[in-house]
Amino acid sequence: MTPTPPTAASPPTPEATTAPLAGFTVAVTAARRAEELTALLHRKGAQVIAAPALRIVPLSDDQRLASVSEQLTRAPADVVVATTGIGFRGWIEACETWGMADPLLAGMNSSRLLARGPKAKGAIRAAGLTEEWSPPSESSAEVLDYLLERGVQGLRVAIQLHGEPLPDFTAALRLAGADVTEVPVYRWTQPEQTAPLDRLIEAVTTGGVDAVTFTSAPAAAGLLARAHTTGQHHALIGALRGHVLAMCVGPVTARPLMAHDIPTVWPDRARIGAQVRKLTEELPARFPTLTVAGHRLRLRGHAVLVDGTVHTLSPTLMRLMRALAHRPGQVRDRAHLLTCLGEDADAHAVETAVARLRTALGDAKIIQTVVKRGYRLALDTHPC
Confidence at residue 61, expressed as pLDDT on a 0 to 100 scale? 66
Distant-in-sequence, close-in-space partners of 258: CB < 8 Å, separation ≥ 6: 264
- For 45-57, the pLDDT digits (tens) are 999 999 999 987 7
Per-position DSSP letters for 108-131, written without gaps between them: HTTSEEEESSHHHHHHHHHTT---
Q: What DSSP state is assigned to residue 8?
A: S
pTM metric for this prediction: 0.71
pLDDT in tens, 173-186: 999 999 999 998 87
pLDDT tens-digit series, residues 299-353: 988 899 999 888 999 888 988 998 998 888 899 988 888 888 877 777 788 899 9
Which of 307, 283, 313 lies closest to 295, judged by CA?
307
- Per-residue model confidence (pLDDT) at position 381: 67
Q: How far is CA 176 from CA 75, 114, 184, 372, in A?
A: 21, 18, 22, 77
CB 200 within 8 A of CB 51: yes
Rounded mean pLDDT for each run of 10 residues along the chain, 384 residues in total: 48 53 94 92 96 82 88 97 91 92 96 94 96 90 96 97 82 97 85 95 93 92 95 97 95 91 94 95 90 92 90 90 87 88 78 93 94 90 50
DSSP structure class, residue 327 = S
pLDDT of residue 207: 87
Q: Which domains does the chain have, with CATH numbers?
A: 14-55+191-285 (3.40.50.10090), 59-186 (3.40.50.10090), 289-377 (1.10.10.10)
Side-chain half-sphere of 68: how many Cα atoms within 13 Å? Answer: 20
